[in-house]
Amino acid sequence: MTDPNEIRALKASLRGVLDAAAALAALQDTVEALDDRGDIAPEQLETLAAAAAGSAVAASALRGLVGTMQTRRGAATS
């Protein structure tokens, strides 16, 4: 029998990854518009760092949850 809380956590975790990806996607035009020979403002780097960190954390959380679910299901079928 599946755990409804686990499925809710999976849904929430996936939404977190997608939201973090959207935050990165929102910065794409800004990054693409940078002059290749120019520099980037410290504020822009901070914004990129925060968005990248958020994406990494969200993806890691999803990966961990999926791994736990796989392990649990493997143990349940063994």
Q: What is the pLDDT of residues 21-78, one digit of tens each?
A: 999 999 999 999 999 999 999 999 999 999 999 999 999 999 999 999 999 989 766 5
Provide the residue ranges of all domains of the chain, joining segments of one domain with +. 4-77
Evaluate the CA torsion angle 75, 73, 2, 66 in order and state its sign: positive
For the entire predicted model, the pTM comes to 0.85
Q: Rounded distance, CA 47 to CA 49, Å?
A: 5
